[in-house]
A and B are shown apart, each in its own frame.
Chain A
Amino acid sequence: MSRSLALAMGSPVSTIPQNDFRTSWNTNRTNSALAQEKTFSSLLNDSIGDGIRGALGQAILGVLTDQGLFDKASNPKEFQVKLQSVFGNGATVIEKVIIKDLFRKLNIPYTSQGPFNYGEALEKAREACTAEARTK
């Protein structure tokens, strides 16, 4: 049935133009990017939980969770501010514990040498996560 005939007969027709592979490719790409972001976000939350629990135990993780620590996990800057407000100078140690856990989960080698930047380390992990998703 042609598209115009289908419209005239009131048949349900997709709003995506037929044979326009670019539209469906872009939609798939957007969905895939969203799925990858969701996967990374879940992995990061796991590492925040596992890292803090590993270093400071379940009771402290519970307090931080109640204080909304995980609400800020997706925004590295806000997350760092929150950690700083709780742990002061010790916040960097917790950031490193989280990054080490995340890198271990993604099979990225971690090196203690050189300056540490939480945001940059997260980006590296995100790229590795995206690359891993592409190979699957």
Chain B
Amino acid sequence: MSAAQMLETLLASEVTGDLLVLFHRNPGLIDTLDSVARRIGRTGNSIEEDVRGLVNLGILKTRRIGRSEVLLLDRARDREVLDAIAKHLRNLEGVEKIDNTKF
């Protein structure tokens, strides 16, 4: 997956934005889907699809604890994704500068 596609997944919706802020500000958070949803003022059903997008990207991972399935941040993968996007944005700026140069 390209950095542009990863960025698109991260900013797919207001919910993904809220989830990113929640997990980045609380990197040790381990909680069920419903509880995570409550923390951002939503219901489990309404965030399921956005959570799946972040799980597929690898930023969030799931783990089974007893009977519950919990969500947590994969810090290593999160850093990897964000660094790749930062590099992409920096390169993009370089390309724009070249495009704007008058020869």
Give me the interface of A with B, judged by CB distance under 8 Å: 51, 53-57, 59-60, 62-64, 66-67, 86-91, 93-94, 96-97, 100, 112
Contact = CB atoms under 8 A, between A and B. Distances in A.
B57 interface: no
B86 A112 contact: no
A57 B24 contact: yes
Contacts of A90: 7-8, 10-12
B21 A63 contact: no
Contacts, number: 67
Binding site secondary structure of chain A: helix
8 contacts: A55-B10, A56-B20, A57-B86, A60-B82, A63-B93, A86-B92, A89-B8, A93-B16
Given A57-B86, A60-B85, 10 more contacts: A56-B10, A57-B24, A60-B86, A60-B89, A63-B93, A67-B89, A67-B93, A87-B7, A97-B17, A100-B18
Interface of B: 7-8, 10-14, 16-18, 20-21, 24-25, 41, 78-79, 82-83, 85-86, 89-90, 92-93
B89 A54 contact: no
